[in-house]
């Protein structure tokens, strides 16, 4: 869990050629303080992996929370770049950053609260679904994520909600147990049902937008969580929009996750499972290869007739971006994604 900053006085942050805001005493990072102040501060993952929240410190002093965060290259560091999600102001500061459009400002600011773990079940392979009961949190949109603070572990871990917000405080997350990963191991094995976990959210720009185009959801591994949420959101609409949901897994050992797709069975849903490395290819009747390749095989040409949502590891995200934006010229405004880092 992050350090207690409740005794620290609020500080003022000035953005060059932009608005000022107050960084509250309970905030753990510049990014969260800016978002709660209603600013469209750029970000993707919120936990130091992507580099989208880079900024420059012009005046003042900042504490760096993760010195070796992969979101900054050596070149970035030499140029004085910092990550807002891994920086905490120690006093009044002036920074330089390019804010996003007003459309990126959430209607409800994210909040931090305590949640109770109410359930845990296996999804398949090394993935589990965690159910948390939250109180006093803003409603989340299909496709958004939250930050979980595993007890006894430094820093936050980002996970997307897999369900729809029914207003009852039930937030569900699909978590992959990562070998050697203290955060995921603690969440999957070290927190008992009934224990409390700090939660902050909701965050993320890859939430379901209203529209008329059919939707393609592409998930790699535990990226299944937000894609289930987006698919559920489309199917809950009073519309004719169809959903094409493609799930990329490694081998037959992970096929338990396919049951999540079967549970979504709907006349407006087409679900496909793709194995990249089946142990026995002759016994597997489904698609084999990379999931982005199956997207092109099954749905091209005319990919620009869809809205795309995808979540998964960086190689999958990069391959999907190349497929859509470079090779098929799909307009950027029809593409939303979460890069799992």
Task: Kindly compute the dihedral angle of the four CA atoms of residues 78, 83, 86, 88, in this order, to the nearest 10 degrees.
Answer: 90
Token match 């016994």: residue? 283
- Which of 41, 42, 36 is CA-nearest to residue 24? 36
pTM: 0.91
pLDDT of residue 5: 45
pLDDT of residue 7: 54
Class of domain 214-339: alpha beta
Share of the chain above pLDDT 70, in %: 98
Domain with CATH 3.10.20.30 in the chain: 11-104
Quote the CA–CA distance of 163 and 229 in Å, as a whole number. 5
pLDDT of residue 8: 61
Beta carbons within 8 Å of 196's beta carbon, 6+ residues apart: 114, 115, 116, 117
Q: How confident is the model at residue 10 (pLDDT cuts 50, 70, 90)?
A: confident
Measured at the alpha carbon of residue 151, what is the angle toward residues 147 and 152, in degrees to the nearest 5?
Answer: 120
Quote the CA–CA distance of 229 and 142 in Å, as a whole number. 5
Report which of residues 106 and 22 the model is more confident about: 22
Domain with CATH 3.40.50.80 in the chain: 214-339
Mean of pLDDT over the chain: 93
pLDDT digits (tens, 9 = 90+) for 110-138: 999 999 999 999 998 889 999 999 998 99
Q: How many helices (H) and strands (E) does the chain have?
A: 7, 19
Over 70: is that where the pLDDT of 3 sits? no
* Superfamily for the 111-203 domain: Translation factors (2.40.30.10)
Quote the CA–CA distance of 303 and 290 in Å, as a whole number. 17
Region 31-55: what's the mean pLDDT? 94
pLDDT digits (tens, 9 = 90+) for 159-200: 999 999 999 999 999 999 988 889 999 999 999 999 999 999
Q: The domain 11-104: what is its CATH number?
A: 3.10.20.30
Pair of tokens at residue 115: 């949640």
pLDDT of residue 125: 83
The backbone torsions φ and ψ at residue 142, rounded to the nearest 5 degrees and listed phi first, read -55, 125
């Amino acid at each position: 869990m992050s350090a207690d900053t409740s005794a620290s006085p609020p500080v003022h942050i000035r953005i060059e050629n932009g608005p000022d805001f107050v960084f509250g005493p309970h905030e753990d990072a510049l990014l969260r303080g800016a978002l709660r102040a209603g600013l469209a501060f750029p970000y993707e993952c919120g936990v130091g992996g992507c580099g989208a929240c880079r900024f420059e410190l012009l005046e003042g002093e900042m504490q760096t929370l993760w010195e070796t965060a992969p979101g900054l290259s050596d070149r970035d560091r030499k140029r004085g770049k910092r990550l807002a999600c891994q920086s905490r102001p120690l006093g009044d500061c002036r920074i330089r950053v390019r804010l996003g459009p007003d459309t990126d400002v959430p209607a409800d600011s994210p909040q931090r609260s305590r949640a109770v773990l109410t359930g845990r079940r296996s999804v398949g392979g090394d993935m589990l679904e965690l159910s948390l009961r939250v109180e006093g949190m803003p409603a989340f949109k299909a496709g958004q994520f939250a930050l979980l603070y595993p007890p006894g572990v430094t820093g936050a871990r980002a996970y997307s909600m897999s369900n729809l917000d029914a207003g009852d405080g039930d937030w569900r997350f699909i978590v992959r147990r990562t070998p050697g990963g203290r955060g995921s191991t603690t969440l999957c094995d070290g927190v008992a049902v009934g224990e409390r976990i700090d939660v902050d959210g909701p965050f993320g720009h890859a939430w379901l937008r209203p529209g008329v185009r059919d939707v393609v959801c592409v998930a790699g591994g535990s990226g299944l969580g937000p894609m289930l949420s987006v698919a559920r959101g489309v199917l809950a609409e009073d519309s004719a929009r169809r959903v094409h949901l493609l799930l990329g897994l490694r081998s037959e050992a992970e096929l338990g996750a396919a049951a999540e797709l079967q549970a979504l069975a709907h006349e407006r849903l087409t679900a496909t499972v793709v194995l990249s490395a089946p142990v026995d290819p002759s016994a597997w009747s489904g698609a084999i290869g990379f999931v982005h390749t199956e997207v092109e095989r099954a749905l091209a040409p005319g990919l620009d007739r869809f809205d795309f949502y995808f979540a998964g590891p960086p190689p999958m995200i990069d391959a999907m971006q190349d497929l859509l934006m470079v090779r098929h010229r799909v307009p950027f405004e029809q593409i939303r994604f979460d890069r799992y880092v």
